[in-house]
Amino acid sequence: MAFLEVEDLKVHFPIKGGIFGRTVDYVRAVDGVSLSLEKGKTYGLVGESGSGKTTTGRAIIGLNKITSGKVTFDGNDISNLKSRSEVRKDVQMIFQDPYSSLNPKKRVIDIVAEPLRNFEKLSKKEEKIRVQELLELVGLSPESILKYPHEFSGGQRQRIGIARAIALKPKLIIADEPVSALDVSVQAQVLNFMQDIQQELDLTYLFIGHDLGVIKHMCDKIGIMYKGRYVEEGTTEEIFNNPQHIYTKRLVAAIPDIDPKRRQEQTQFRQEVKTEYEQSYNDYFDDEGLAYKLQPVTDTHLVALPEKG
């Protein structure tokens, strides 16, 4: 049994309509996603906006109600609210927007100490020391505990968010596009820092993102989502060197390359992929434009292709 195991996860949102506001249909935000993640590894969940990657992450941590499917963490079923409370401490989240994820009316000490106050009974003094240690760990000045979030830059705020997430020494962190709201110059700092604390605290990451460069840098295993379903899953190696699905190919082809000598080659590759995409779209997606069921290519590499025969 893997450390985090998601089986056939579905999250559907009702659409209300008509005079009486009845449910007329559902938005299938996540429609049958399965993934498994080993301890100490980083799993990357990739997709365009609206593909359901964030909803998947939020459903795992319990922010979105699971319609059906099963989530097991460290051997515990955490699919419903009751069973989740025991592992609440162990699963934490880093949010995309460092501006709205910190309460603007709270001082840094109150923000970082919030989880401590919920789970650990510390005296005021102990709490302050812990918060200062955490701030130091994420590279912020311990003197700033009485400041407000708006006095920090985006990167600093994201570090506050990380300090808060690691305060309870969690085992799994769901990082929802943690750097996409930051300046490119700060992104690398935060990412490297996240890798450092992964080593230091033996963390497991579920890394959600759309920037393949970032994902390649961070992840051991990658799942690619499209319209609520997986189109391909595999190790980083497999996805980047041997993409099978046309959607993955397009994503990989779109990664910019800074080497000017290879520009010609790149353009040609992109052109090829584009032609293939236009010609064979119908082979890769069903009548509704959704992905098919996953078929194994190797032990670790799965692709959504129509069943043959």
Partner 1 sequence: METNNANVNEDNTKIQKSPSGLSIIWRELVRDKLALVSLIFLIVITVFVYGVALILDQDEIVRVDLFSIHEPPGEEFILGTDYGGRDIFGQLIIGTRNSLSIGILVTLMTGVIGIVFGLVAGYFGGNIDNIMMRITDFFMILPFLMIVIVFVAIVPSYSVLTFSLIMTAFLWMGKARLIRSKALQEKELDYVQASKTLGSSNFKIMFTQVLPNISSLIIVTMTLNLANNIGLESGLSFLGFGFPESTPSLGTLLSYARNPQTLEYRWWIWVPASVLILLLMLAIRNVGEALKRATDARQRRG
Q: Does 55 bind partner 1 (CB under 8 A)?
A: no
Residue 36 and residue 10 in contact, taking contact as beta carbons nearer than 8 Å: no
Q: Which amino acid is at 37?
A: L
- Residue 88 or 250: the one with the smaller Cβ distance to partner 1 is 88
136 binds partner 1 (CB under 8 A): yes
Residues 6+ apart with CB under 8 A from 249: 243, 273, 276, 277
Per the CB < 8 A criterion, the answer to whether 42 and 220 are in contact is: yes
Residues 6+ positions from 244 with CB-CB distance below 8 Å: 232, 297, 301, 303, 305
Q: Among 43, 95, 247, 292, which residue sits at the site for partner 1 (rule: CB under 8 A)?
A: 95
Interface mask (CB under 8 A) for partner 1, residues 276-305, using x and -? ------------------------------
Site for partner 1 contains 200 (CB under 8 A): no
Q: How far is the CB of 219 from partner 1 (least distance, A)?
A: 22
Question: Which residue in the set 164, 221, 229, 245 belongs to the binding site for partner 1 (CB under 8 A)?
Answer: 164
Q: How far is the CB of 196 from partner 1 (least distance, A)?
A: 14
C-beta of 157 vs 227, nearer to partner 1: 157
Is residue 15 exposed (0-12), middle (13-18) or buried (19+ Cβ within 10 Å)?
exposed
Q: State which of residues 8, 48, 86, 133 lies at the interface with partner 1 (CB under 8 A).
A: 133
Q: What's the rounded Cα separation, in Å, for the pair 231 and 32?
A: 11
> Is 191 an interacting residue with respect to partner 1 (CB under 8 A)?
no
- Our finding on whether 12 is near partner 1 (CB under 8 A) is no
**Interacting residue with partner 1 among 151, 202, 257, 283 (CB under 8 A):** 151
Binding-site size for partner 1 (CB under 8 A) equals 45
Residue 156, interface with partner 1 (CB under 8 A)? yes
Beta carbon nearer to partner 1, 163 or 251: 163
Nearest to 3 by CA among 220, 295, 177: 220
Q: Between 106 and 270, whose beta carbon lies closer to partner 1? A: 106
Residues in Cβ contact with 52 at an 8 Å cutoff, skipping those fewer than 6 apart: 11, 29, 30, 31, 33, 225, 227, 228, 229
Q: Any contact of residue 114 with partner 1 (CB under 8 A)? A: yes
CB of 88 to partner 1, least distance (A): 5
> Looking up tokens 């992929």, which residue turns up?
273
Q: Which of 36, 67, 144, 295 binds partner 1 (CB under 8 A)?
A: 144
Report if residue 154 touches partner 1, rule: CB under 8 A: no
With beta carbons less than 8 A apart as the criterion, state whether 3 and 74 touch: yes
> Exactly one of 18, 82, 105, 199 binds partner 1 (CB under 8 A); which one?
105
Distance (Å, whole) CA 135 – CA 20: 52
To which H or E segment does residue 185 belong?
helix 184-201
- Does residue 75 come out as left (phi exceeding 0), alpha (psi in the -120 to 50 range) or beta? left
- Chain residues binding partner 1 by CB under 8 A are 58, 61-63, 88-89, 91-93, 95-97, 100-107, 114-115, 118-119, 129, 132-133, 136, 139-148, 150-151, 155-156, 161, 164, 189
